[in-house]
Structure formats: structure tokens, C-alpha cells
Amino acid sequence: MTTQSSLIARREFLRFLAASPYVAAAGGIGAFVRLPAALAQNGPAGASDLITDPKRALNVFDFEEVAHRKVQPGHWAYMASGVDDDATLRANREIFKHVQLRPRRLHNATLVDTRVELFGTVYNSPIFLCPTGGERAFFEDGEVSVARAAAARGTLQCLSTMTATPIEDVNKALGRPVWYQLYAPSKWEACEQLLRRVQAAGSTVVMLTVDNTTGRNSETYLRTRPKDLSQCVSCHGPGEPPGPLASRPMFKGIDMTGVRAPNPAMDWEFVDQLRKFWRGKLIIKGIDTHEDARMAVERGFDGILV
């Protein structure tokens, strides 16, 4: 086997390990592959498995183990975890192996244009940044750094309700409004105040998340988060991290007493109320059936995010 073939085989094996909840429960890939001993067996070429410069990445999975070694265990557990036993996390990766492209040949490849227009804004690619909560857990500047990167690449950025950075700061760094992902508070007054703030910040697209109104059972996170939560308390304060909703930047100034987000009682009547209040574009995020897709269209949603 050539050196290049060995590297490819090694990376495929590491990806397989990374997708396994059993490996995560045992401490992640780092519990099986340690530096420098493991890499020393492959000589200088093997050291390239862990990149030291983003430009050296051949695909996004090249960042994974590097990040694992730099991020606090509790934060990594949150990022690496799916829902339940991670079956869908593995399925999401596996399904791409069964997708094949049918490229048509003999077209002028110097004129390739990947731009796409969504709701009046042109982006350089249909690939976009999904809403991820608490990004300062992974980098000091959090969502602001992501916004700068999105601005540099002409990419759509979606901001989580659980953002660690206020929407005003993110929009300023991005140079245009983000799409705002909404965990609707259980009290309408709180929801209305939140949406008014989003509107005042200039954002005109809201994505209502509907697939976790009863919470999520993240088994890998629960297995791999630190047993001693004192390191979490030093940043988040007492109580289960990441702390109460009221401490989140987007809920500052809103009375969140007794309020849950997302709203476990959310139904289609709530959607009607939301559609009447929000005059911008409204997308539904998290439905799984064609029956719900049809109802979403009938209720006036402008798009569906699967």
C-alpha cells in the first residue's frame, strides 16, 4: 500500500470511530489514538493527519480531532452528540455514500457559478451555516468570528436563539442581517419581545424550530460530559449548565420567570398567531412528514428546512 493510500485508509478509519457513540463514551478518538506515539509509527507523513493550519484541511473532518484536543470536555460532548443513541448522526453520514452525481460533460468549466438568491439576497453558494448555540464555548469570539468568516465567503449565516453573542453584534460583524432561528418562548409576551428585538436588529427571516419542544435525549453528551461539573459552574454559575434562559444574551431584558423555550405547548394555532405577528419571511425547521409540509404551506410558511 502506498503512503497516500495509507493516509486515506487511516482517515476513513478515524471517521468511522468519530461517528461511533461507543467510542465517544470511551473518551473519543483521543482515547484510541494518542500523539506523538501513534503518529510516530507512520513517520513524518503520518503527522499530517492532525492539521496545524486550516489551509491544510482536505475536508471538514480534518478539523474534528484537532478541535477535540483543544475544546473543554463538556463543550466537546455537546458538540459531538446527536440525539438518543446517535443513530441519525450516523445515518446522516452514511447516506451520503449512497448519493451519486450525474455530471453532464463538455460544458465550459471556466464559467461555473454557484451563487444562489434567497429572499432577495445573493449568496456565493447554497451551502450555509446552521444555527449552533453557545459558540463561545469553542472560540472566544464565538458567533462574531463565524460572522466574519461568513462575510468573507459570502455565506448565509443562521443564528441560534441560544447564541452566546447578541444578534446586534453578529449582524454588525456579518455586514448584513442573519437569519434568526427561533426557540419560541412558552409565554407569548416573551416571544413577541424577542421577535421585536430581532426585527429591530434588521433581520427579516425567522426559522421556527419545532422538533424539540419536549427536549432532547442526548445520550452521548450525558455519557461524556465531565462527572465533576465544578469547571462548568466557574463559567455558568450554579445549576445545570448552560444555566437559566434569562442568562442568555437574547433573553436579556425579558421577564423569563416560569417561561420555557422552546414552548412544549406549541401547535398550529400558535403558528397562526406567529404568522400574523411576524411580517418577514417565516421558515419552519424540523418537520419530517409530507403531511406537515403541506400544512406548513397552507399556514403561510415561506420555506421548509429539513
Beta-bridge partner residues of 305 = 285
C-beta of residue 128 within 8 angstroms of C-beta of residue 157:
yes
Q: What's the confidence (pLDDT) of residue 37?
A: 37
Q: What's the confidence (pLDDT) of residue 15?
A: 65
**CA–CA distance, 62 with 10 (Å, rounded to integer):** 12
Q: What's the confidence (pLDDT) of residue 73?
A: 84
What distances in angstroms separate CA 191 from CA 250, 251, 261, one per listed residue?
Answer: 11, 10, 9
C-alpha count within 13 angstroms, C-beta hemisphere, residue 120: 9
Q: What's the confidence (pLDDT) of residue 300?
A: 93
Q: Name the residue among 120, 146, 116 with its Cα closest to residue 280.
A: 120
Q: What's the confidence (pLDDT) of residue 48?
A: 54
What distances in angstroms separate CA 255 from CA 50, 166, 180, 187, one per listed residue?
Answer: 46, 17, 20, 10
* Domain 109-305, CATH among 3.30.1490.20, 3.40.630.30, 3.50.50.60, 3.20.20.70: 3.20.20.70
Beta-bridge partner residues of 116 = 123
**CA–CA distance, 219 with 225 (Å, rounded to integer):** 10
**CA–CA distance, 79 with 155 (Å, rounded to integer):** 22
Q: Which three cell numbers stand for residue 40?
A: 510516530
Q: What's the confidence (pLDDT) of residue 203?
A: 97
Q: Name the residue among 240, 166, 233 with its Cα closest to residue 198.
A: 166
pTM summary value: 0.80
Domain boundaries, the chain: 3-98, 109-305
**CA–CA distance, 303 with 281 (Å, rounded to integer):** 8
Q: If the chain, 306 residues long, is cut into consecutive pieces of 10 residues, what is the mean pLDDT of each piece?
A: 60 65 54 42 49 91 91 86 87 90 90 94 96 91 97 97 96 98 96 97 97 85 74 63 75 93 94 96 95 95 94
**CA–CA distance, 24 with 181 (Å, rounded to integer):** 28
Q: How far is it between the farthest Cα atoms of the chain?
A: 65
